Structure 1
């Protein structure tokens, strides 16, 4: 059972942003510090990617572990109430992510996913970005 009312939960959920989130800002700050230049939220590309590195033909999505179902992550849990709704919601999110990835790859982009939990470790994030762009 939820510890807050339905109205409180609705207000809390409506405050969750889709752009300029903390994890996204951490990735942007780290990428910029590494000398990587990018564009953000390009509406002309499927899925309006979080970061687009045109010179490197690479797109990065910064996914929340909860919303995009990061397998094996402690943040990827399923609520115990309204299970049918959440199961469908998460399934649709994952299907959309896969569809967008396939479309971008068909257009010749390299697509990488950075997970919210990876952004907490600044040094780990720095190493991950270096590994992605080591060429």
Structure 2
């Protein structure tokens, strides 16, 4: 396979988005169409999550399989050239992802990671439906738990 000329490669790399990627847009459109409202790329939170759903206590990262080194994924192929650059870079990305998830969890957030390959593949619609259900059911569980008294017995309305 011929190498891409440096100018062309530079141009290609400059076109890669850090936000508003096609997978992010697909997730956001799906959630919005189901009535969920959210913030996007909120800098106040570790890792600047792609989607923040304060009402549901949930943040979502929509990760590109290449940039976040998705293991066992056909969309992630370790570059064969310039490995001295790519290996440490992709490992740093993984470590940052883990640190951000830990920090958000410690702050009380439910953290969900959606991979590019999950929503662009043939099961994409099903995955999005499961994502929506996970967000809403977790929220309903929290709300229902708040109806219980501290001793675990349900309170009755009078």
Cα distance in 2 for partners of 1:84, 1:93 equals: 15
Cα distance in 2 for partners of 1:108, 1:134 equals: 17
Q: Is the 8 A contact 1:27 1:125 kept in 2?
A: no
2:60 matched to 1:60? yes
Q: CA deviation at 1:134?
A: 4.0
Q: CA deviation at 1:86?
A: 0.5
Aligned to 1:112, the other structure's residue is in SS state: strand
Q: Which residue of 2 aligns with 1:130?
A: 132
Moved over 4 A (4+): none
Q: CA deviation at 1:128?
A: 2.3
Give the TM-score taking structure 1 as reference length: 0.93
**Count of aligned positions:** 135
When the two chains are superposed, the root-mean-square deviation of aligned CA atoms in Å is 1.4
Listed one character per residue, the Cα deviations across residues 80-103 of structure 1 (whole Å, up to 9, x for unaligned) are: 111121001100100111111111
Aligned to 1:66, the other structure's residue is in SS state: coil
Q: Which residue of 2 aligns with 1:44?
A: 44
Cα distance in 1 for partners of 2:7, 2:87 equals: 21
Q: Which residue of 2 aligns with 1:31?
A: 31
- Which structure ranks higher in relative contact order (CA pairs < 8 Å, sequence separation ≥ 6)? 1
Q: Can you give the 5+ residue segments of structure 2 that lack an aligned partner in the other structure?
A: 138-158
Aligned to 2:20, the other structure's residue is in SS state: coil
Q: Is the 8 A contact 2:41 2:50 kept in 1?
A: yes
Larger Rg: 2
